């Protein structure tokens, strides 16, 4: 018998999530039935989107999130012991999964981890996982960047943003990033090759953008929403493209009374802008394309990744909250 632990959400979040919105439940897992596998969690991904999905589900519910798990026992011939999977079983140390039950939505999606070419399996939820997939498809398919164009990315030192900026450089663009500390700005400019980066907490975003992008902006990868995004979008060129990946600046706000941001319709019409949101599972059938390119770019050193690693099951909640205080550089993961 395996004793398992999991985080159960028992209260809907109000503002910044609290530890007592969760309960840690310890329980005994039953023996496996035919078609089932026992998965031991190795890496848990903490993600801003968990904040958004919280209100959509009735409590109590098990806190899902992408994770990397190793099959410890198996009663399914296609999923032998020792196989590593990407699942959404989330904040738990063990889980039993019925591999014959079809996924009914994208947060039940499960796939075998791609070839990591000797790199840490943790990348399966980062640069070679949903962060990489969001950066790759969300940027390339929606912004369609061309060499010589100017790209702006926000939350630029995070899991997704740091990859978007580098993919922009690989495609021959001029890349400008906004992030929330001087350390992050240094990392973006000195290590990742961003042409310019700014600490949005200490600069006048409108002014520095006019100076850094005197010919305007062609592509904007929006991770944050709010007024900063309105300022950036208002400085776009004709036929500019905006890929809306997330809006973390308002995730902890009251969703029926969101902060106001400047009206953009005048610019959108006048400059004929395209603004499109996405969920990365839109490209589910094409993940292997992204893994091939991302893997090669990483191997050749063109694409650098950084992980913000927290250790231990008991610290998953803290790792999650750190995202909202900008304490992570690169992809936030928890090692179990």
Q: Does 166 bind ligand NAP (CB under 6 A)?
A: no
Q: Where are the alpha helices (DSSP H) in the chain?
A: 49-53, 130-140, 161-170, 182-186, 205-212, 226-233, 265-270, 287-300, 316-324
83 vs 327, beta carbon nearer ligand NAP: 327
Stretch in the footprint of ligand NAP (CB under 6 A) among 143-151, 152-160, 287-295, 299-307: 152-160
Q: Does 249 bind ligand NAP (CB under 6 A)?
A: yes
Rounded CA separation 29/92 (Å):
12
Asked whether 44 and 316 are in contact (CB, 8 A), the reply is yes
Site string for ligand NAP, 64-93 (x = CB under 6 A): ------------------------------
Q: Does 126 bind ligand NAP (CB under 6 A)?
A: no
Q: Does 140 bind ligand NAP (CB under 6 A)?
A: no
Which phi and psi (to 5°) does residue 13 adopt?
-70, 140
Which pair of structure tokens corresponds to residue 221?
Answer: 């990868």
Nearest to 126 by CA among 330, 280, 298, 335: 330
Min separation Cβ 147 and ligand NAP, Å:
25
Pick the binder of ligand NAP from 71, 173, 273, 323 (CB under 6 A).
323
Q: Does 181 bind ligand NAP (CB under 6 A)?
A: yes
Q: Does 153 bind ligand NAP (CB under 6 A)?
A: no
Which pair of structure tokens corresponds to residue 239?
Answer: 């036929």
Q: Does 130 bind ligand NAP (CB under 6 A)?
A: yes
Q: Does 22 bind ligand NAP (CB under 6 A)?
A: no
Rounded CA separation 117/105 (Å):
30
79 vs 200, beta carbon nearer ligand NAP: 200
Stretch in the footprint of ligand NAP (CB under 6 A) among 24-32, 90-98, 129-137, 266-274: 129-137
Count of beta carbons in the 10 Å neighbourhood of residue 299: 12
Burial call 4-36: b when 16+ CB within 10 Å, e when fewer: bbbbbbeeebeeebeeebbeeeeeeeeebeeeb
Q: Does 279 bind ligand NAP (CB under 6 A)?
A: yes
145 vs 180, beta carbon nearer ligand NAP: 180
Angle, alpha carbons 331-333-336 (nearest 5°): 165
Tokens 């897992």 sit at which residue?
29
Min separation Cβ 3 and ligand NAP, Å:
31
Helices 130-140 and 287-300: crossing angle in degrees, nearest 10, is 100
Q: Does 180 bind ligand NAP (CB under 6 A)?
A: yes
Q: Does 187 bind ligand NAP (CB under 6 A)?
A: no
Pick the binder of ligand NAP from 128, 140, 236, 280 (CB under 6 A).
280
Rounded CA separation 91/310 (Å):
13
Angle, alpha carbons 233-159-280 (nearest 5°): 70
Q: Total binding residues for ligand NAP by CB under 6 A?
A: 30
Stretch in the footprint of ligand NAP (CB under 6 A) among 164-172, 206-214, 277-285, 299-307: 277-285
Min separation Cβ 256 and ligand NAP, Å:
19
Asked whether 85 and 108 are in contact (CB, 8 A), the reply is no
Pick the binder of ligand NAP from 158, 168, 240, 295 (CB under 6 A).
158
Judged by the rule CB under 6 A, the positions of this chain that interact with ligand NAP are 47-49, 130-131, 134, 155, 157-161, 179-181, 184, 223-224, 245-246, 248-249, 278-280, 323-324, 326, 328, 332
């Amino acid at each position: 018998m395996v004793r398992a632990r999991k985080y159960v959400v028992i209260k809907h979040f109000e503002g910044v999530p609290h530890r007592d919105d969760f309960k840690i439940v310890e329980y005994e897992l039953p023996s496996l039935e035919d078609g089932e596998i026992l998965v031991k969690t190795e890496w848990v991904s903490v993600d801003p989107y968990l904040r958004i999905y919280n209100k959509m589900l009735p409590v109590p519910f098990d806190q899902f999130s992408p994770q990397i798990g190793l099959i410890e026992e198996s009663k399914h011939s296609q999923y032998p012991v020792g196989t590593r999977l990407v699942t959404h079983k989330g904040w738990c140390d063990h889980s039993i999964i019925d591999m014959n039950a079809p996924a009914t939505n994208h947060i039940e999606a499960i796939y075998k981890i791609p070839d990591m070419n000797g790199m840490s399996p943790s990348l399966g939820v980062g640069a070679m996982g949903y962060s990489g997939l969001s950066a790759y498809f969300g940027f390339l398919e929606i912004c369609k960047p061309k060499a010589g164009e100017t790209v702006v990315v926000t939350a630029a030192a995070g899991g997704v943003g740091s990859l978007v900026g580098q993919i922009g450089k690989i495609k021959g663009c001029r890349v400008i990033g906004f992030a929330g500390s001087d350390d992050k700005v240094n990392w973006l400019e000195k290590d990742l090759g961003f042409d310019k980066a700014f600490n949005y907490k200490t600069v006048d975003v409108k002014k520095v953008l006019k100076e850094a992008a005197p010919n305007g902006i062609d592509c904007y990868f929006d991770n944050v929403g709010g007024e900063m995004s309105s300022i950036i979008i208002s400085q776009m060129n004709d036929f500019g493209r905006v890929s809306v990946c997330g809006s973390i600046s308002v995730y902890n706000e009251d969703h029926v009374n969101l902060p106001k941001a400047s009206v953009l319709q005048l610019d959108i019409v006048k400059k004929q802008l395209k603004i499109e949101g996405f969920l990365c599972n839109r490209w589910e059938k094409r993940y292997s394309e992204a893994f091939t390119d991302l893997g090669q770019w990483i191997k050749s050193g063109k694409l650098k990744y950084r992980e913000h690693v927290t250790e231990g099951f008991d610290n998953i909640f803290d790792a999650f909250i750190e995202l909202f205080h900008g304490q992570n550089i690169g992809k936030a993961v928890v090692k179990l």
